[in-house]
Structure formats: structure tokens, C-alpha cells
Structure 1
Amino acid sequence: MKEDYIKLIFGLKLKQIRTDNKLSLFGLSKLSGLSKSYLNEIENGKKYPKPDKIAILSEKLDVPYDQMVSLKLDKNLAPIGDLLQSKILKEIPLELFGIKENTLIDIVANAPAKVNAFISTIIEIAQHYSFSRESFFLASLRSFQEANNNYFDDLEQSVLKFVKAYQLDLRQTVSSKDLEEILIEEYGYSIIENELSKYEALGNLRSVFVPKTHTLLLANGIDEAQRTFIYAKELAYNFLEIKDRLYTFPWIKFESFDQVLNNFYASYFAGALVIPKDELTLQLETVFEKETFDKALFLQILKAFNTSPESFYQRLTNILPKAFNIKNLFFLRITHKADSEKFYLNKELHLSHQHSPRANETNEHYCRRWVSLKVLKDISISKNSHEFDIQISNYPSHDTKYLVLSSATKDPFRNNQYRSISIGLLINKQLERKLKFLGDKTIKKQEVGVTCERCAIKDCEVRQTSAIYLEKKAKNKKIEIIVEELNAKF
């Protein structure tokens, strides 16, 4: 068994026996003749005592030697033992957040009962919300993005090195033909189309990479923007020398957090290659400096790059915090089936603050006043290839306002399925300084909630259900007041 685990288990047991005997470290030192510092290192899992020292502790604490060295823990510490023996500490990407595994072990050793209670609570919450291993990894990735304002200069620099190495001109639109040539000539790829369409069960799978033969299989339905992005991701894996990777787009499953992280790195590289930072920054400045919002100009910028609206909005979450110091923002992807009242928030990112809306209200009704939902309704009726709208959303219950830009497109792989991509910018003094068009009277202002179940807006014409959580809260408050009155009366 792992040496560190054995040390920690012995330390946990010694600490528990000592505290059960109402002994301080100083007291145990006096009793056993072993130094206080030595005992402290044992209890913290840093040292494992030699047999003669264990014999002394066994005798002085009146605990059988075999019980002292046994790896079996009592019921209070058993969950901690299970945790330490499991792979979970290895799967948690501690290093991303500057935490060492030894630091976590120290925390466990210093307060095992409290840590056990905390872990049990987290597990119970996770089970309640069906929080899977995949969900945990993706939540860890989002936290990593948020901690870095979703901007990674090393990847930006890698793109510039790639561009120089292969003599690409970022002043021109990057095409799939440009990237396909590099994949074939430089990395020995074979690219095959029409194969995936033979398998109906593959659904919306757009590409499969076969590493043994460097064969890239592409779906029939992909457009030029999707093809370019797939090629750019493949180039990222090769240029960045990433070995532990995913082989399908979109991904089906992953084996480790490293695969999730590397998939993000490749996607970031692809976005930065297809939508160059400097070029996008210059074009956004022209929109931001206008006194009114120029919708035509914004859409012209979106279409200027060989990319999907989703990749474009994702790229905004990289550029706005870095180039414009706009860090209070959220990104959402919502899917919807035509003639349905169901909306699913299946991708999100929140920078600087935990903004509303979020995806944890999975069984509730998202606010129908959101522009994100409006464009989905619009495109399902119009059948256009792209619907765009802008709105200032006021959340009275949160005392916050957001400028929300939203695009909706059809899902090319699913009949009557649509998705909206939105970016919301918190309206504050910083945003007002950066965006001159914020005072534009033609931008629709709308009071919104998060879900109908938690919304206090009266007479809402699109409410799907009553505000049951607020009603319950009001009822409990009324009961509380009556109880206080009864206490005062009697």
C-alpha cells in the first residue's frame, strides 16, 4: 500500500487514541518519553515510528500493539480511510489551484471528524443534484477558467508561434483549406468524409480521430466553420504536443481530468487561431465607441471570422476581460426543441461573480423574459439561419442589470432543435465607460427573474408557474410572526 497512506492512517489512529485519553501532545510526550515534535510529525502523517517506539506507545496508552499497527479504522474515521484509499484525491486537479496533496492531507489529519462530516455533506449534495464525476471535472475546469479570467497568454503566444512557423496571414480569414494542408503535409493526416454518416447511432458526432493511422473521420453535415474549428483543434493537439486527449468531437466520455483540461486547451488554441485577438479587439472598439448600438456592424464582425456564433461568443469571454477589463460577465448556451416549452441550460461560464442565471435550477422554469429564450422562439418560427437580439435585463431581486447579447442558430444534426448563445455584461461604472452605446434608448429594457418558481415580478404575462418558493417563504414568515405574537401574549 502507498507509504503515505500507511503513515497517515497510523497518525490518525494515534491522535484519536490520545484525544480519547484526554492527553495533550505535551502529556503524551511526558508519558512516553518521545519528543513532542516527533509525536506531532507522526500524527500529521509525516513519520512512521519504528517498532520499538510503537511498543512504547502501545504500553503507555494501553492499546494492543496489533490494534495500533492495523490499517482498520473505527466507524468515525472509516470514511476518511475510504477517501484516502480511493482515487478521488488523484482525480481532483489540486495543482490548478495551487494546492498540494500534502496540504490536503494535513487538513485531514488535523481535523478528521470535521473533514469527514464535510465530505459526507458534499457527497450527499452531489447525489441530491445527480452530480456525476463528469460534472465535477467540468465544474473544476470552469473554476480554473474563472480564476484566470478565461484568458491564457501562454496559449495566445503558442498560436502566434504556430502562425509564424506555418506562415499564416491572420489579416486574412483562416480557412479549412489552409489548415487541412498543414495537417496532411506536416502531421501525416488522412481525412475521410462520408464514413460517419453510415452509422445512424453516431447522432451529432462531427469527427472521430483514429490515432494509430492518423485518420480523421468527418461527418457529412459539418459546415465550413465547423470543419475549420475541428482542423484547428487537431493542429493544437499536435503543435502543443498533447498526448492525453479526446478523440471525438463533441466528446463522448473522458477518463481523467487531464483529458478535460487538454480538450479545453485545444479548443482555446483553435478559437485564438480562427479569431485573432488583435483583429477582434480593433473591431470591437469600433462598436463600443458608437453612441448607439450598431447591430449591422456587430453581425458583420461576427460573420467576418470563419467561425460559429458559439465560438465567437466564447472568444468574447477571452477578449473582453483582457483587452477591455470587462470581467463581470456570463456566457450561456441554451437548447430548445421547436413546439416545446422546455429550455435546457447546458453550458455556462461566470467570471468574477456567480451571476444569475445558473444551471442548478434544472427542474424549474427559466424566465421567459430572457432574450436568450426569445431568440430561440424567434428562430423556431422564422426558420432563419441566425437570429440576434440585445436586451438590458434588470434583476430586481438581485439589484443588478446586465447587457445581454444573444444569437440563436439551428442544430444541424437534430431536427427542430435550436440553441442560443448569450453573453451578459454586468452594467456598472466600468461598463459605462467602455461602451458608449449603453445609453441607447432603442435597446429594450426588461425586468427579469431567474426562474418562475423564485420570481417576485407581478402580473408577468409569460409566467409558467407560480412563485412557489417565494410563497413558501412568505408563509413561513407569517407563521414566525404569529409565533412571536403568541410568545409575547403568553
Structure 2
Amino acid sequence: MAIAEEYIRLIFGLKIKQIRNEKELSLFGLSKLSGLSKSYLNEIEKGKKYPKTDKIIRLAETLEVPYDSLVSLKLDKNLAPIGEILQSGILDEIPLELFGIQQSDLIDIIANAPSKVNAFISTIIEIAQHYNLSREGFYLASLRSYQEAHNNFFKELEEKAIRCANSYQLGLNGTINSAELDEILTEEYGYTIITDAIPDQEELENLRCVFVPKTKTLLLSGRVDESQKTFIYAKELGYQYLEIKERPYTFSWIKYDNFEEVLHNFYASYFAGVLILPRVHLKNQLKTVFSKKKFSAVDFHKVMHQYNASPESFYQRLTNILPKDFGMQNVFFLRFTHKLGANKFNLVKELHITHQQQPRANEINEHYCRRWMAIKTLQRTAKENIPYAFDIQISDYEDTGQKYLVFTSATKDPFRKEFYRSIGIGFLISPALEKKIAFVNDAKIATVKVGVTCETCSIQDCEVRMAPPKRLLAKEKFKKTETLVEEMMNKFS
């Protein structure tokens, strides 16, 4: 397999810079010794130019290193992690410019302190391998960081979706349905839509739809309901209206080949959310619910059911609107899945606005706190075999003193037998939040002491504890050992 020319240039430049630094030579000094211009050497070190053979020979002689070692792609231990990253192509796949980073600057930072920076990179790689972080997992983590950096609100997408709605005369009052979108896709964009087209096989049970780009054919599962169908169509309209070419062709996704697919999938999903749950209309409905001093589940669901959207789409849209229009900056969104009879609850989607709120995912097989509303609601839905459950509570974190107002809905998974899912959103309680949501102090909302995982929780005599607090016990043992050692040292000082 041919190695990219850019990779060869970068590796050569890094080697030259490393050897020059080891010999304590400045660019000016190397220029003077080699007879090559300082600007030319600078371009070589940044990976922008690769010198011809005669110039490589001159550099090898000047730096007193073998020619073969300079042109070899083999790197020493200090530069090896950089080589792994560059050869993997991961820097090309992630649009660093989204985070205000230029790839050349990143490589320059790494090259300027190879030992320390590469030790850090090696640590990150080791952690990723230890926790089985897949390429897709890395992409999704990058996307979350991008969302969180923008408080999950994207003005340009909001505006484009509104222009699209106006262009096709779609109402922005929550009344959009699948039939309207079906007509736009088939008449305007040449789609062929086939329902009940995905075979009822176990391997395909999680698929809602498949798009065949060559014929613009959209294949739908027979298990999608009206709200899911509306979301799928709105998302397809987003791909077309935003002129997105690089995209996943299945929903739910099977794999992502690069970060562009992940990002574009998010753009199309966000676009769909704007159409189905229009910002101005939803904001006005929420103001009415939040203004009441007593919480009403009926009023909350009345707002939710005004829109042709699933509970997950509704909660996801709240993460766009509440930070932007209500100033609620400390927000988390969680989605759990659970199989009937299993003792495991999987956190499959999360988002944190402003900073890492509790709770959050862990990858070390610890037991999530069973007092979380997300898990209690899931357990009730599975145990009672009901299609939908909802609850609200104030989660009071024992070890931090932080309190969150948490809303959670749980449903059966229509695509997987004996599977259930819960979707929740939580807000850090503060004086600012109390001004926004009048019912925060409603005495009927239960306040429950919670932890993060059983292994880190200090709640005594917890009736739903799944494992001893081993990390806390280890910490206490270490502290006691430290105290005893200090006493011995004082005694013999």
C-alpha cells in the first residue's frame, strides 16, 4: 500500500527538527552549515517540502547521520506515537478547524517537545485501548465536545431549516407530518420510498431505514411509527437541502467511516429537530409550564404531545432551546438501554452543557446508581411491561452536594424484543434556575440521595446497592496507611 506523500514529508521534517534540536542548532545555524536557506529548512521541518536527493545527502553530512536513517520511515521511541497518529490518518478525519486548531500547529507543538508530548500521547492511546475506545467512539466523543463547545445551539442550521420550511410552505407550529415530507422528497428530490422493505431478521432488528444513493431509494422498516417516520423524512430533507454528500446510509448507523459522516449525520438530525419542534413555538409552550409553582405531568405531556416527535426527539430539542432561550447552562441529557432480566444498564448517549454534569458514562464496568431516575423508570417499565413511563425527581448527590432537577421518560424499544430505553434531562439547581422554573421547590417532587456508581458511593445502608464502595474503601485504607507512616516518622525523627 502506497504511503501518502504528506506523511513522508511530515516524518522527514520531524526527524530533521529532532536531530537539529539534539545538536542544539538553530535553523539559522543549520542553514549556515548546510548552505540551505533558513526558509527552505523551515518548510522542510513543517512537512511542506521534501528535498531532493542531493540536498538530503548534504543534510545527512551536516547533521552527521546516515542517509538511510533520514529517509527511513522508522521512528525512534520519542517520535513513534506521532507516527502512529499520522499514519492512522485520524488527524485528517477529524476537522480540527471546528475547534480552532490547525493540524500544522498541532504537529508543531508535538515536535517542539517530543519526549513529554509523546509520553502524553502514548498515555492517551493506552487509555483508549484499555477502555476499548473504538474509532466510532472517538468520533462520537469529538462530536459531543463540539456540541458542548457551542452549548448545543447552531444558529446557521436553525436559520436554514426555517428557510426550508418557508420555501416548501411547511408550518412552524409543530404540525408537520410524514405525508407532507414524503411529497417533498418524491416530487422535489426524486426519492422512491418503500415501506416495510427491511426484512424481519435479528441482524437487522435495529434498522429504521436504509438509503440507496444510486437510485435515491429510501427503504423503511415496518416498525417505524408516525413520529419516527416524520423524523426520518425530515432528516433526509436535511441531507438534500444542506447539500450533504458524505453521510451514513443507515439509521441507526452500522459504522462511521470518517468524522465527516458523524458530523453530517448530526447536522441533518439537528435540521430535522428544527422542523418538527420549531424553536419559537416550543419556547412559548415551555414558558407556560415553567411559570407554574406546582409541577404538572399532564401539562408537561400536553406540550410534548403537541409535536409529531418521539420522547427522545423532544428531550434532545430541549438541549438546544433551554441553554439558549432560558439561560439554563448546566444541563445533561442521557439515554439508557436495558434488556429485560439483565442486571446491566447501558448509557448509550450523553450530552453535558457547560461542564461534565453528574451522572456521566463510565467504561470500567462499575454499577450505575440504582437511585437514578433514568434507571428506576427503566426498571418499572420493564417489570410492569408498560409501553411508557414518566417521572421526575430532585437528585441530591451525596458526595458533591449538587442537586439536579431530572425529567425521565422510558419506553419499550419497538425494534428490539425485550429491550427498553429511557431518555432523561437534568438541570443543576441554583438560584438562577429557580427564577426560570417556578416549580423547582414543589414539595411533591421527591428529593433522593444518589451517587454516581456503587463503587464510589458513600451512601450508608443503601437498599439498592449492587457492589461495595471499593474505591472509597481503598482510598480510606490508603489515608489510614499514610497517617500511620507519618506517626512512625514523627516518632523516630
Q: Does the pair score TM above 0.5? A: yes
- In structure 1, the residue matched to 2:80 is 78
**Secondary structure, counterpart of 2:143 in structure 1:** helix
From 224, 227, 234, give the equivalent of 2:226: 224
Q: CA deviation at 1:38?
A: 6.0
The answer to which of 15-24 and 422-431 deviates more is 15-24
Describe the superposition over 1:313-351 as per-residue Cα deviations: whole angstroms up to 9, x where unpaired: 000000001111111100001112233322111110011
- AA at the equivalent of 2:318: L
Call closer, same or farther: CA 1:222–1:50 in 2, change over 3 Å: closer
TM-score normalised by structure 1 residue count: 0.94
- In structure 2, the residue matched to 1:489 is 491
- AA at the equivalent of 1:355: Q
- In structure 2, the residue matched to 1:396 is 398
**Secondary structure, counterpart of 2:305 in structure 1:** helix
- How far, CA to CA, are the matches of 1:36 and 1:213 in structure 2? 55
- In structure 2, the residue matched to 1:171 is 173
- How far, CA to CA, are the matches of 1:418 and 1:184 in structure 2? 34
Call closer, same or farther: CA 1:113–1:306 in 2, change over 3 Å: same
- In structure 1, the residue matched to 2:333 is 331
**Secondary structure, counterpart of 1:272 in structure 2:** helix
TM-score normalised by structure 2 residue count: 0.93
From 194, 197, 200, give the equivalent of 1:195: 197
- How far, CA to CA, are the matches of 1:435 and 1:84 in structure 2? 49
- How far, CA to CA, are the matches of 2:463 and 2:87 in structure 1? 55
Call closer, same or farther: CA 1:172–1:336 in 2, change over 3 Å: closer
- In structure 2, the residue matched to 1:454 is 456
Q: How many residues align?
A: 490
Q: CA deviation at 1:118?
A: 1.8
Contact kept in structure 2, 1:44 and 1:109, CA below 8 Å? no
From 373, 376, 398, give the equivalent of 2:375: 373
The answer to which of 49-58 and 402-411 deviates more is 49-58
Describe the superposition over 1:258-305 as per-residue Cα deviations: whole angstroms up to 9, x where unpaired: 111111111111111111111100000001111111221001111111
From 290, 295, 298, give the equivalent of 1:296: 298
- AA at the equivalent of 1:107: I
Q: CA deviation at 1:210?
A: 1.6
From 19, 22, 33, give the equivalent of 1:20: 22
**Secondary structure, counterpart of 2:435 in structure 1:** helix
Describe the superposition over 1:424-475 as per-residue Cα deviations: whole angstroms up to 9, x where unpaired: 1011122111111111111110110001110001111111111111001111
Instruction: Please list, as runs of the form range in 1=range in 2, the aligned pairs for 1:239-388 lying within 5 A after superposition.
Output: 239-388=241-390
- How far, CA to CA, are the matches of 2:455 and 2:238 in structure 1? 44
- In structure 2, the residue matched to 1:432 is 434
Gaps of 5+ in 1: none
Describe the superposition over 1:178-231 as per-residue Cα deviations: whole angstroms up to 9, x where unpaired: 111212222222222223135443112111122222222111111111111111
**Secondary structure, counterpart of 1:63 in structure 2:** coil
Call closer, same or farther: CA 1:63–1:212 in 2, change over 3 Å: closer
Call closer, same or farther: CA 1:253–1:299 in 2, change over 3 Å: same
- Tell me the percent identity: 62
RMSD: 2.2
- How far, CA to CA, are the matches of 1:141 and 1:160 in structure 2? 24
Is 1:150 the equivalent of 2:127? no
**Secondary structure, counterpart of 2:151 in structure 1:** coil
- How far, CA to CA, are the matches of 1:285 and 1:486 in structure 2? 63
- How far, CA to CA, are the matches of 2:84 and 2:417 in structure 1? 47
Is 1:478 the equivalent of 2:443? no
Gaps of 5+ in 2: none
The answer to which of 370-379 and 345-354 deviates more is 370-379
The answer to which of 126-135 and 373-382 deviates more is 373-382
Describe the superposition over 1:387-427 as per-residue Cα deviations: whole angstroms up to 9, x where unpaired: 11111111121221100001111111222221110001011
Contact kept in structure 2, 1:43 and 1:109, CA below 8 Å? no
